[in-house]
């Protein structure tokens, strides 16, 4: 999955504790644009068709043992040919020694070489996760993101409907705030969305009549979180007496964000409704649905009603 975003090699090295063996420029100036990585076994064998130079190349035990099968002169030729294709960067895993001759070749072609003590598979997984997060497609959405019982809940609605006040109530009840007003959403995989707050407004909340507060300073570090996956979207709107709202829970609503359909609910508000409690219940109910239990379907089954012959009007008397 290609994106137009980049991440610096400095950030990658810092996050994954990489040691720099050689870099032709400051790591902060070397940008990585591909979220895919490569183990250059085929390239060591001389096969460069479909080789993507934008990818970070990872060298582990297999590549090392393969290159050792050649004579010193032949091995040097293979390494030289590999570096001549200008890979974005090379990372040597398991603390393997990267010979001075090979390092001189890297310097000749100005290819950054880094090193880690981690196993090749473990490092590859961590690197891919980091690249997916930093290079993911993203949008900024007006709303509030909170974590409630481990579920990431994105609150959406018009300005002044009560999203921030509800977030404060949830924080006071032991849940955590991720972002208020602007939520930066990233599609980190084909199934997952992750939300965070822009750096300049992180942990700040606007409360009309009070002003700006810092949730971390007032409620403590345990009341906030940097990122959270988005499991459920809740649209908050003023109660409209002419509108029919879902009273049973059989309707499967979704909201599309970055091409992914996220389960969603529409919750009307009016005086007397405790939004924080409703959202807590919605979070727990969403988790139960993911575990395979749907209370509405269970009730209809106990009442002897099937999907074919049950309608909202038939069920209304029980609510």
Residues identified as active-site: 142, 163, 181, 247
Contact 58, 39 (CB under 8 A): yes
Partners of 238 in the β-ladder: 269
Partners of 32 in the β-ladder: 7
Tokens of 77: 């030729």
Q: Distance between CA 228 and CA 242 in Å, rounded?
A: 36
Q: Distance between CA 134 and CA 131 in Å, rounded?
A: 5
Q: Distance between CA 295 and CA 193 in Å, rounded?
A: 26
Q: Distance between CA 305 and CA 9 in Å, rounded?
A: 60
Contact 198, 186 (CB under 8 A): no
Q: What is residue 317's three-state secondary structure? A: helix
What is the CB-side half-sphere exposure of residue 304 using CA atoms within 13 A? 0
59-95 burial string, b = 16+ CB within 10 Å, else e? Answer: bbeebbeebeeeeeeebbebbbebbeeebbbbbbbbe
Q: Distance between CA 10 and CA 14 in Å, rounded?
A: 6
> Where are any strands of DSSP class E within the chain?
7-8, 19-22, 31-32, 37-38, 56-59, 89-92, 113-115, 138-148, 151-157, 176-187, 193-196, 204-207, 211-214, 227-229, 232-238, 254-257, 260-269
Q: What is the DSSP string of 90-103?
A: EEE-TT----HHHH
Tokens of 97: 């020694």
Segment (H or E) for 167: helix 163-172
């Amino acid at each position: 999955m290609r994106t137009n975003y980049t991440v610096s090699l400095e950030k990658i090295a810092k996050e994954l504790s990489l040691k720099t063996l050689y870099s032709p420029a400051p790591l902060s100036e070397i940008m990585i644009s591909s979220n895919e990585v490569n183990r250059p076994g085929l390239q060591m064998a001389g096969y460069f068709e479909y080789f993507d130079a934008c990818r970070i190349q990872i060298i582990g035990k297999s590549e090392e043992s393969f290159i050792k099968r050649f004579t010193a002169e032949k091995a040097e030729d293979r390494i030289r040919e590999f570096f001549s294709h200008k890979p974005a960067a090379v990372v040597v895993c398991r603390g393997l020694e990267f010979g001075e001759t090979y390092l001189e070749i890297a310097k000749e072609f100005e290819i950054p070489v880094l090193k880690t003590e981690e196993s090749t598979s473990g490092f590859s997984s961590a690197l891919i996760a980091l690249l997916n997060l930093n290079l993911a497609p993203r949008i900024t959405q007006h709303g509030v993101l909170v974590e409630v019982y481990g579920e990431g809940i994105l609150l959406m609605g018009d300005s002044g409907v009560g999203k921030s006040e509800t977030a404060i109530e949830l924080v006071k009840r032991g849940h955590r705030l991720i972002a208020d007003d602007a939520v930066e959403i990233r599609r980190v995989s084909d199934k997952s969305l992750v939300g965070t707050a822009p750096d300049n407004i992180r942990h700040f909340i606007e409360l009309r009549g009070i002003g700006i507060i810092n949730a971390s300073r007032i409620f403590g570090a345990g009341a906030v979180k940097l990122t959270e996956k988005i499991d459920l979207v809740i649209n908050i709107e003023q109660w409209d007496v002419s509108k029919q709202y879902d009273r049973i829970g059989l309707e499967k609503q979704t909201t599309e964000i970055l091409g992914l359909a996220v389960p969603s609910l529409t919750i009307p508000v009016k005086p007397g409704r405790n939004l924080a409690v409703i959202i807590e219940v919605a979070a727990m109910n969403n988790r139960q649905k993911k575990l395979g239990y749907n209370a509405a379907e269970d009730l209809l089954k106990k009442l002897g009603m099937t999907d074919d012959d049950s309608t909202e009007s038939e069920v209304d008397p029980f609510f």
